Structure 1
């Protein structure tokens, strides 16, 4: 897979509302699937599919802790992506509100 393909894969993974929400939760710290399942109202199988897509895109890590699978953001660069997008959207929305007045 070349660099452009991986870039597109990352944007596709983050482009899904459920996966983006998962990433926001994981930016707060590692979470086990059971805790994520409480926050995301989908079946555990569906949640696991979303987590696999995020992992395949290189956005999250997984680690087995006892009987539980814990997921975390791959590194701080991934957190920065989420933070920059949130900052951009906040500014964009405020700019749109200002131009409507």
Structure 2
């Protein structure tokens, strides 16, 4: 069974205080579902069409665990903090091999 990952590229953050209110409960929900934040921060370099925006990568033991965690009630309950405060591109992908 291959690992699953959330790959999150943050877009515009118009309300950093609201984003900070999201971080602690979201991290708690992620960890409760077996997730591990393995990357977080601004890119050191960007190439081609890369944007200099915050990136977060969360690792799960399987693709299904990653999907279940994102769709869980406790994680979904944290997303209200981001409404009108930030835009993100969230993708869930499966590890190769």
TM-score, normalised via structure 1 length: 0.32
Write 1 or 2 for the structure with the bigger share of helix. Answer: 1
Write 1 or 2 for the structure with the bigger share of strand. Answer: 2
Greater RCO between the two (CA within 8 Å, min separation 6)?
2
